[in-house]
Amino acid sequence: MHELTLRYGMNPHQVPARVFTETGVLPIEVLSGSSGYINLLDGLNGWQLVRELKAATGLPAATSFKHVSPAGAAIAIPLSGAEAQACFVADLELSPLACAYARARGADRMSSFGDFVALSDECDLPTAQLINREVSDGVIAPGYTPEALALLRAKRGGGYRVLRIDPAYEPPALEQRQVFGITLEQHRDDALIGPQLYRNIVTRSTEIPPNGMRDLIVATIALKYTQSNSVTLAHNGQVTGVGAGQQSRVHCTRLAAGKSDLWFLRQHPRVLGLKFAKGLARAERNNAIDLYLGGELTRAEQSAWEACFRDVPVRLSQADRADWLAQIHEVALSSDAFFPFRDSIDRASTSGVRYVAQPGGSLNDQAVIEACDEYGMVMALTELRLFHH
């Protein structure tokens, strides 16, 4: 047995804590910092996600994990000028891997604050430079260039967690967990996500172009490692919204679609043109944008928000938001279980969703199909439930 002592378990009072294998050696190596229980949960789930994204698309992949669900995930597609500004990376020269992490981190910057990063490829210097300037708990990757490792080891005074994982490691077919002293065992979820999963198209519209297929794959692989119930939206090779851990399917969809809307609204010219107060930290700028795009502010929020700007901006009206979002099309949506009602499709239609994947099997499948037909969506029934707990 090979083991690694952890700082603590789920919470600081849960000690001792460790990670270990019954046979063989641990496939992870600590290069810097001291990890906790949740760090390992995020890191190991995130590694599986990016490994599968890389295998499915052939492109470097990254994810920003937070509390055992992805806040964002993406593959290495170059960013447009507006996307780079929205991700706060317009001042950097990005490698392909850094592009993937910029997208993964940038789509939901509020949720990514204090994330655990997972990278499919060796971490290079541009990616390390991007990670170094964000508030983050740690990173896991199959390797690091010497320059990248030196930079990350210096982060947080040497306390930043840097893990290396053996890319050749394959887990056993059976996995176990304990709950209340009782051991549960199951075959691990090794379902393969690829184009073959979306062959059973049941709507009048049947064409899924390469970009739509890519985004369905990205959304579904991210979904596979998201706490259920969950719905995920993706566009242009990145997750744009995650609705994780909700008991109601429509609440998953509302959450994911709302986050996706915010990603696209962050690229509105008036958002990109905001003039922040001198010296305002990146996290504070991000919070100011979130309030700018949010609902009505309290008096205290209004006062604090106004202090973030050199010139107090006029917030987007509902009409401004609707006009901008009406330009968004070709978004992919994947659901980890069937839609019991058409309400999720109705909500998704307002967020540019064109391609839908879900297992099917509801008594209301026909009503859901008819809703997709009303909006001109393409829907595939995968017959693959992807609950993750």
Structure confidence at residue 72 (pLDDT) = 97
Rounded Cα–Cα distance for residues 171 and 188 (Å): 9
Q: Where are the domains of the chain?
A: 2-165, 189-265+328-381, 273-315
Mean pLDDT, the chain, integer: 95
Structure confidence at residue 267 (pLDDT) = 97
Tally the C-alpha atoms within 13 A of residue 199's C-alpha that lie toward its C-beta: 5
pLDDT 10s digits, 288-338: 999 899 888 888 889 888 999 998 899 999 999 999 999 999 999 999 999
Q: Are 6 and 37 in contact (CB under 8 A)?
A: yes
**Model pTM above 0.85:** yes
Under CATH, which architecture does the 273-315 domain have?
Answer: Orthogonal Bundle (1.10)
Residue 104 tokens, joined: 């993964």
Q: Do domains 189-265+328-381 and 273-315 have the same CATH topology?
A: no
Rounded Cα–Cα distance for residues 331 and 215 (Å): 8
ω before 167 within 30° of 0 (cis)? no
Chain centroid to CA 9: 24
Structure confidence at residue 25 (pLDDT) = 87
End-to-end CA separation in angstroms for the chain: 26
Structure confidence at residue 295 (pLDDT) = 81
Rounded Cα–Cα distance for residues 50 and 176 (Å): 22
Pairing of strands 115-119, 136-141: parallel
Under CATH, which architecture does the 2-165 domain have?
Answer: 3-Layer(aba) Sandwich (3.40)
Residue with tokens 């049947």: 206
CATH superfamily membership of 189-265+328-381: AICAR transformylase, duplication domain (3.40.140.20)
Coil, helix or strand at residue 49: helix
Structure confidence at residue 102 (pLDDT) = 98
Cα dihedral 162, 55, 384, 216 in deg (nearest 10): 100
Structure confidence at residue 234 (pLDDT) = 98
Provide the residue-wise pLDDT of the chain in tens; the chain has 389 residues.
Answer: 588 999 999 999 999 999 998 888 899 999 999 999 999 999 999 999 999 999 999 999 999 999 999 999 999 999 999 999 999 999 999 999 999 999 999 999 999 999 999 999 999 999 999 999 999 999 999 999 999 999 999 999 999 999 999 999 999 999 999 999 999 999 999 999 999 999 999 999 999 999 999 999 999 999 999 999 999 999 999 999 999 999 999 999 999 999 999 999 999 999 999 999 999 998 899 999 998 998 888 888 898 889 999 988 999 999 999 999 999 999 999 999 999 999 999 999 999 999 999 999 999 999 999 999 999 999 999 999 999 99
Rounded Cα–Cα distance for residues 136 and 156 (Å): 10
Nearest-CA neighbor of 271 among 72, 87, 135? 87
Residue 154: count of CB within 10 angstroms of its CB: 12
272 φ/ψ sector (left φ>0, alpha ψ -120 to 50, else beta): alpha
Active site residues per annotation: 66-67, 229, 389
